[in-house]
Structure 1
Amino acid sequence: MKQVFILRGLPGSGKSHYAQNLCDEMVNGDEAQYVVCSTDDYFMTDGEYRFDKSKLSEYHNLNLARFIRALSQHIPLVILDNTNIRKWEFVAYAEAAHALGYQVKEVVVGEIKDKAMQHLYYQRNIHKVPLKTINKMAYQFEW
């Protein structure tokens, strides 16, 4: 069965860890059997994350193209690892997956509204997203 998981959650909530666990459990970590698509990958330069807001739209488009390419190659497990705070941010991914015969599951990782958890996510997010931004993202989260 071909499956897509759309991960949603605040920075630092454990989405990437969750994605890796899915790959390990579902396809025994066989890299030919899965693709994890994260817009964050495009901000990596020489092993360092360098966010550039002016590139965000371009990189989201590149990530969507990579996602669709994986679907068209019939990769059994495709994971979208973005924050996906608002539903419009991942609707194109879900529609492409459905169109190509994939089962789609949306997974919210972590506790969105819990202020203590937001503080923990701030402390452990590797991209240095400020607490104020994480709080704002939690407020804007669409269920």
Structure 2
Amino acid sequence: MKQAFILRGLPGSGKSHYAFSLAEELVGGDETRYVICSTDDYFLQTDGSYQFDKTKLSEFHNLNLARFINSLAEGIELVIVDNTNIRRWEYVAYSAAAHAMGYQVKEVVVGEVKDKSLQHLYQKRNIHHVALRTISNMARQFEW
């Protein structure tokens, strides 16, 4: 059965860890059987450092969606979207594409969104240095 997972959650909530754990559990970590699509990948530099550029965000989200759709078209067994997906419009195209290509689609909220103490933890452990104020704003905007 072909499956697509749309991960949602605040920066630092554990989405990337969850994505790799899911791949390990469902396909034994066999890299020929899964793809994790993360817009963050496009901000990685050749030296492996992460350089966020807000002006590139829209372009990189479109590239990530294209990678997701290409993975579906290739028939990859497990395709995972590892983005914050705070608002519905941010992930609806992923869901529609996966449904159209016959995938079972599951939306997973990783972590607790509204818990202020966890927002502090997420700020400390997110690898992209997203500020607590930004994380709190994202939590307020989160659409269920």
Report the TM-score when normalising by structure 1.
Answer: 1.00
Q: Distance in 2 between matches of 1:106 and 1:10?
A: 14
Q: Distance in 1 between matches of 2:40 and 2:88?
A: 19
SS of equivalent residue, structure 1 residue 106: strand
Match of 1:32 in 2: 32
In structure 1, stretches of 5+ residues that fail to align are none
Q: Distance in 1 between matches of 2:38 and 2:16?
A: 9
CA deviation map 1:93-119 (0-9, x unaligned):
000000000000000000000000000
Q: 4+ residue stretches of structure 1 with deviation over 2 A?
A: none
SS of equivalent residue, structure 1 residue 126: coil
CA RMSD of aligned residues (A): 0.3
In structure 2, stretches of 5+ residues that fail to align are none
SS of equivalent residue, structure 1 residue 36: strand
Q: Given residue 42 of structure 2, which amino acid in structure 1 is its aligned partner?
A: Y
Match of 2:42 in 1: 42
Match of 1:92 in 2: 93
Q: Distance in 2 between matches of 1:21 and 1:86?
A: 24
Report the TM-score when normalising by structure 2.
Answer: 0.99
Q: Given residue 102 of structure 1, which amino acid in structure 2 is its aligned partner?
A: Y
Query: How do 1:39-118 and structure 2 match up within 5 A?
Result: 39-45=39-45, 46-118=47-119
